[in-house]
A and B are shown apart, each in its own frame.
Chain A
C-alpha cells in the first residue's frame, strides 16, 4: 500500500501540493505514481520564472521504460526547481514527499488549493486505479 500523507493536497493525475509557511506551494508526484512508474532515470523540471496554468504539463519524469508528464495542480509562477534531481532522479522514488519534490510555485490563485483532493479522496482514486 502506498503512502498518502494527510497534510498534503492531491490532483487525480497523481501530483501532490503542499502549502509552505511562506505562502509558496511545493509540488511533487505521489508515492503511488512513483511506484507505478518504476525506477526514474531522468527528470525534466520547469524553468524558474515560467507561468503555469492549472493542469499545464510542467515537468517530465522518465522511467527506464517511458516518459510521463507531470501536470501543475494549481496555477502559478515557478520560483524554484529541485536542483538535486539532475544528478539523482531516484530521489523521487526513494522520498517522493521529501527530497524528491519537483518544483515550487508562487500560487496565482490560492483558492485553487482548496479545490484539490484531500488524502482520503486521493486514496479512493488510487484504489480505483488498482482495479
Chain B
C-alpha cells in the first residue's frame, strides 16, 4: 500500500482505477482516459495532485538559498505572486528535480516539488538552508487540485465566494493567497486554468463542488497525454540526475546571467557548453502506424538515441513522443518498435497548445 492523498476515498468511491505513482496510490482514470483528456482540451477537468509537495521557504536568506540551489534565478521574481519554473541541479549538472517557485513577497517563497523526489528534495534544501538563514516548511497540511481547460476558471470561480473576481484577474503564471486557498494560474496541460492549494480537510468537499459545477475528474493518465502534447517534460522520464537541462530541452530555464551568481551545477553546465552539448531533446511525430513509447531506440543519420516519453495523442490522433538524440540529428529518424524500424519526423514542440494542433 502506498501513500494516500486527502482525496483517496473520493477517488475510490468514484470508481477510479488506482496505480502506484512515485509511491502514491493515485487515480490513473475514472473510466476513459481519452474522454478525460478531451474534457480538459475542450471544457474543464480536474486533477488531484496532492502527492506533489508545497514547501515554504522563509527567513532572511530564503532568496539566497534559492538563488544557490536553483538553475533559474528567483531574482527575476520582482512582484509578489510571480511564478518561475526551474530545475534543481546537483554539482555535476544532473537534474535532481524540476519545480515551480512562487514569490510570496515578504513571507518568502513557495516551491512545489514532484511526488517521487519530495523527501530527497527536502533533505537537499535543508542541507543548504543552514548556511543561509533560511527555513524549510513542508506544507503537508495542504491538498492541491489542478483545474484545467478553457472553461476551468469560470467553473471554479463560482465556488470561491468573494475571491472570484481577484482570482479571475490573476495573470498567467502568477498566484495569490486567497485564504483558505492559494490560487495560481499555472498548470501542466497546455490549457488555461488554476492550480488550487487548500487545507487538506477541505479537499473532498471542494472536489465534489467542482464536480457538481461540471469539472470532470481526470486521472494521471490524461495528465500525462496532456502534458506530452503540451511539450512539457516529466521528471524521471525526460530528465533525471544522469542528464543536464541543456540535454533536456530546458536550456531556456537556466539563468547564466548574471555571471556572478553561483548556483549548484553551474560549473558543470558551463563545461558542457564549452565542449558542446552532445545530445538534445526533440519532439517526434510517428509517420507510420504504431505507438511511440519511452525507451524505444531511435536511429538517426548521426547515431542512436532513445525515446524518453511516447504516447498516442488524443488531440492529434497519432503518436507523438520526446526523444534524446545526438545534437546533429536532422528532420528524419527511425524508431525501433518491436523489431521494425518505423519512420518519424522531428518537430518543434509543443505539439498542442490551447486546444490547437501545432504540428
List A residues at the B interface (Cβ < 8 Å).
38-39, 41-42, 44, 60, 62-67, 86
B34 with A64: CB separation less than 8 A: yes
B274 proximity list for chain A (CB < 8 A): none
**Is B221 interfacial (CB-CB < 8 Å)?**
yes
CA distance A77 to B170 in the complex (A): 64
B338 with A65: CB separation less than 8 A: no
Q: A60-B338, A65-B33, A67-B291 are in contact. Are A41 and B312 (CB under 8 A)?
A: yes
Q: Which residue of B lies closest to A65 (CB)?
A: B221
B28 proximity list for chain A (CB < 8 A): 38, 65
Q: Tally the A-B contacts, defined by beta carbons under 8 Å.
A: 40
**Is B107 interfacial (CB-CB < 8 Å)?**
no
Closest 5 CB pairs of A and B: A41-B312, A39-B34, A62-B291, A42-B291, A64-B33
CA distance A38 to B30 in the complex (A): 10
Kindly identify, within residues 196 to 253 of chain B, every residue whose CB is under 8 Å from any CB belonging to chain A.
221, 224-225
A65 proximity list for chain B (CB < 8 A): 28, 33, 221, 224, 311
**Is B314 interfacial (CB-CB < 8 Å)?**
yes
Kindly identify, within residues 30 to 69 of chain B, every residue whose CB is under 8 Å from any CB belonging to chain A.
32-34, 37
A41 with B291: CB separation less than 8 A: yes
Q: Which residue of A lies closest to B319 (CB)?
A: A42
CA distance A67 to B290 in the complex (A): 10
A67 proximity list for chain B (CB < 8 A): 291, 293
A38: contacting residue among B221, B311, B319, CB under 8 A: B221
The CB with the most chain B CB atoms within 10 A, among A41, A42, A67, is that of: A41
B312: contacting residue among A42, A44, A60, A86, CB under 8 A: A42
B279 proximity list for chain A (CB < 8 A): none
B33 with A62: CB separation less than 8 A: no
CA distance A126 to B319 in the complex (A): 31
B314 with A42: CB separation less than 8 A: no
B290 proximity list for chain A (CB < 8 A): 42, 44
**Is B137 interfacial (CB-CB < 8 Å)?**
no
B319 proximity list for chain A (CB < 8 A): 42
A38 with B17: CB separation less than 8 A: yes
Q: Which residue of B lies closest to A66 (CB)?
A: B293
CA distance A57 to B344 in the complex (A): 26
Q: Which residue of B lies closest to A42 (CB)?
A: B291
A38 with B33: CB separation less than 8 A: yes
Kindly provide the distance from the CB of A55 to the nearest chain B CB, expressed in whole angstroms: 18
Q: A60-B338, A64-B221, A67-B291 are in contact. Are A38 and B312 (CB under 8 A)?
A: no
B 277-321 binary contact with A (CB < 8 Å = 1; else 0): 000000000000111010000000000000000011010000100
CA distance A41 to B319 in the complex (A): 9
A39 with B33: CB separation less than 8 A: yes
CA distance A38 to B31 in the complex (A): 8
Kindly identify, within residues 311 to 340 of chain B, every residue whose CB is under 8 Å from any CB belonging to chain A.
311-312, 314, 319, 338
B34 proximity list for chain A (CB < 8 A): 39, 41, 64
CA distance A86 to B289 in the complex (A): 9
A60 proximity list for chain B (CB < 8 A): 338
Kindly provide the distance from the CB of B318 to the nearest chain A CB, expressed in whole angstroms: 10
B33 proximity list for chain A (CB < 8 A): 38-39, 63-65
Q: A64-B221, A64-B311, A64-B314 are in contact. Are A38 and B291 (CB under 8 A)?
A: no
Kindly provide the distance from the CB of B9 to the nearest chain A CB, expressed in whole angstroms: 20
B338 proximity list for chain A (CB < 8 A): 44, 60
Q: Which residue of B lies closest to A89 (CB)?
A: B312
CA distance A66 to B32 in the complex (A): 14
**Is B135 interfacial (CB-CB < 8 Å)?**
no
CA distance A9 to B37 in the complex (A): 36
B151 proximity list for chain A (CB < 8 A): none
B312 proximity list for chain A (CB < 8 A): 41-42, 62, 64
Kindly provide the distance from the CB of A11 to the nearest chain B CB, expressed in whole angstroms: 21
A42 proximity list for chain B (CB < 8 A): 289-291, 312, 319
B37 proximity list for chain A (CB < 8 A): 64
Kindly provide the distance from the CB of A32 to the nearest chain B CB, expressed in whole angstroms: 13
Kindly provide the distance from the CB of B148 to the nearest chain A CB, expressed in whole angstroms: 18
**Is B29 interfacial (CB-CB < 8 Å)?**
yes
CA distance A38 to B34 in the complex (A): 9
B289 with A39: CB separation less than 8 A: no
Kindly provide the distance from the CB of A89 to the nearest chain B CB, expressed in whole angstroms: 9
CA distance A39 to B317 in the complex (A): 13
Q: Which residue of A lies closest to B340 (CB)?
A: A44
CA distance A86 to B338 in the complex (A): 18
